[in-house]
A and B are shown apart, each in its own frame.
Chain A
Amino acid sequence: MSALLHLLAVLVVLLGALPLLVAVLQFLLIGFQRFRHLYEDRGEAYLPRVAVLVPAWNEAAVLPGSVAGLLALEYPPDRLRVHVVDDASTDETPSVMAELVRRHPGRVVHLRREHGGQGKAHTLNHGLARVLADDWAEAVLIMDADVVFDRDALRRMTRHLADPQVGAVTAYIKEGSGRRGNYLTRYIGYEYITAQAAARRAQNVLGAVACLAGGAQLHSRANLEDLGGRIDTDTLAEDTVTTFETQLAGRRVVFDGYATVLAEEPGDLAGLWKQRLRWARGNLQVTRRYRHVWFRGRSAEGRHRLGSWLFGLIWFTLLATPLLLTLCSGALLLLYLTAPTGAAWTLFHWLWVTNLVCYLLITLMSALVDPGTFRRCWREALVYPGLVATAILVVTALPGVFLPLLAGTGTLTVHLVMLVVYAWLALCMPVAWLAKELTGTRLRWLAPPLLHLAGYGSLLAACLVAAAFHELRHAELAWDKTEKTGKVAIGS
């Protein structure tokens, strides 16, 4: 084995640390939001007339709760109108809406498309055309039918629009099943602390926001009009496209982590996979669509920061994580099997110590960012990397304690264990995928333990790989609606 190949393997292992380093960087940025002056004091509260758009297809079970929640918002009643855009529902939605319109005349509007099924973006465009047709709406809140806003969330969001430079504001979407949830919704709850409450705070600091949450995005009228008064219909990530277009047009996008919104998330692996596959494919489409933006530095006019190196690094590292981890595992195995002097262990040890720092920082910061959700999800937070990875973290933190125990089990066992742990960064993804596959079989009881072993993040990484394959073979862009049951409610 040539020294050059060994050197290459070492470099690949170091590259495998990139997702960890980028995660550490993001979490270090969180606290600096304090210096971004997001909440400038402009005297009087800014309370524009807000038209709420709720796209709905067969949402009869959740609409009454959602509409009641919206009407209960601490917002002047004469400055808030709820428009439910019914995408040709075939369930009880029309009769439910008729009742809601009767109960709240002038405050609730039912807009029905007779020919639907084209997806959320088309439904929203139907509603946007109506609310922008007259000059009543000064801002438009786009949300999902199943989300429930905290009562002060809208006021927290509108305050940012007092600055005409701000085009759109997004809220912190929290997993909302509360005590009625299961292990998977608790994983999602923790994921949303890290991926929304934490990561989007970091994006506020960077001045470039990756995505307005589809379930809670508030736009100024001027911003929507500049975007042509319509939402993109060509991708599966219309919310991300809107986010990018807003910033490319020179307006700021703000994430308000204190404006919180509860959403119902999938309670089973098959539903979660379907949802995340759509999101991941959407992100790949966005990556391709904005290829002229990445890593170009600040735009010539200084209008946006989407082209900054740091933002690009975060975006692409996230997308490349499955590839980086697979290559890293391959390189470690190569070094273990061919390099003579324990280079594999040294690199592996460094990699996992870095992982330990990352794990501690993310877990502790998540507890600080959203203590309420963390209290509910702390067990899932502790095993978020997976039980196997957590065990590796402990062993590599205290090798003097555990390695002698391992050595006592015999040479063959040691070799087998080392092969598995070196390969685990890649192996965890097919194991997580297998957990998802088992949900539709008689062995479905094996799915939760397998997911606990492999880690929730591994499932998302596997989903990203699947999304890449779907995109490569140009699979059909189907809008797969996530099943909603209406279990999220005010006060849950």
Chain B
Amino acid sequence: MTPEETGTGTATETDVGTGGGDTDAAVVAAALAAAATADATVAATAGADRRPTAELTAADRRHDRRLLRGELVVLLLIALILLGLMAVGGLPWPF
């Protein structure tokens, strides 16, 4: 592992370019605080709602099947709309 990879890089690698005004510093401080909150939330909920990959895959397959059925319903609905418009004389032949 290089020094960078172990997170112990030299000052040149990690501690340069710290320019920026108070506003930037405030933004960064707020972002880091938010990240800390996120870390804590993650630690508290780790594993709580984790679903096995096989379960995810089964859910995705079900959704794919629902999408196909939904597509058929959508096509039927569009056909009905076109028939309705044709009935009131809105569409040219053959609609």
Contact = CB atoms under 8 A, between A and B. Distances in A.
Interface in A350-379: 350, 353, 357, 360-361, 364-365, 368-369
Nearest to B25: A92
Interface in A128-178: 130, 152, 155-156, 159
Contacts of A368: 67, 70-71, 74
B31 A65 contact: yes
Contact of A64 (B2, B32, B54): B32
Contact of B71 (A31, A63, A72, A110): A31
A98 B15 contact: yes
B67 A34 contact: yes
A23 to B, nearest CB: 14
Nearest to A159: B53
B60 A94 contact: no
Most chain A beta-carbon neighbours within 10 Å: one of B7, B77, B92: B7
B28 A74 contact: no
A41 B77 contact: no
A396 B20 CA distance: 57
A63 B30 CA distance: 12
Nearest to A201: B67
A220 B51 CA distance: 24
Interface string B68-89: 1011101101100110010011
Given A39-B60, A45-B53, A65-B35, A398 B13 contact: no
7 contacts: A34-B67, A68-B39, A101-B14, A110-B7, A130-B5, A155-B53, A368-B70
A65 B38 contact: yes
A68 B38 contact: yes
Contacts of B64: 33-34
Interface residues of B, number: 58
Q: Chain A's interface: helix, strand, loop or mixed, by majority?
A: helix
Given A41-B54, A91-B24, A364-B77, 5 more contacts: A33-B64, A61-B31, A65-B38, A398-B88, A489-B34
Contact of A94 (B4, B6, B16): B16
Given A60-B27, A397-B90, A30 B56 contact: no
Interface of B: 2, 4-7, 9, 12-20, 24-25, 27-28, 31-32, 34-35, 38-39, 41-42, 50-54, 56-57, 59-61, 63-65, 67-68, 70-72, 74-75, 77-78, 81-82, 85, 88-92, 95
Contact of A350 (B65, B88, B92): B92
A119 interface: no
A29 to B, nearest CB: 10
A32 interface: yes
Contacts of A111: 4
Nearest to B65: A34
A102 to B, nearest CB: 7
B90 A33 contact: no
Contacts of B65: 34
Contacts of B38: 65, 68-69, 72, 489-490
Given A31-B71, A111-B4, A92 B18 contact: yes
A28 interface: yes
Contact of A95 (B18, B67, B71): B18
A106 B85 contact: no
A340 B52 CA distance: 68
B68 A34 contact: yes
B68 A31 contact: yes
B28 to A, nearest CB: 4
Given A155-B56, A353-B92, A369-B67, A71 B39 contact: yes
A109 interface: yes
- Please name the 10 residue pairs, one residue from A and one from B, whose CB atoms are nearest each other, closest first: A64-B35, A31-B68, A45-B53, A31-B71, A101-B7, A68-B38, A72-B42, A68-B35, A34-B64, A368-B70
A418 interface: no
Nearest to B63: A258
B14 A41 contact: no
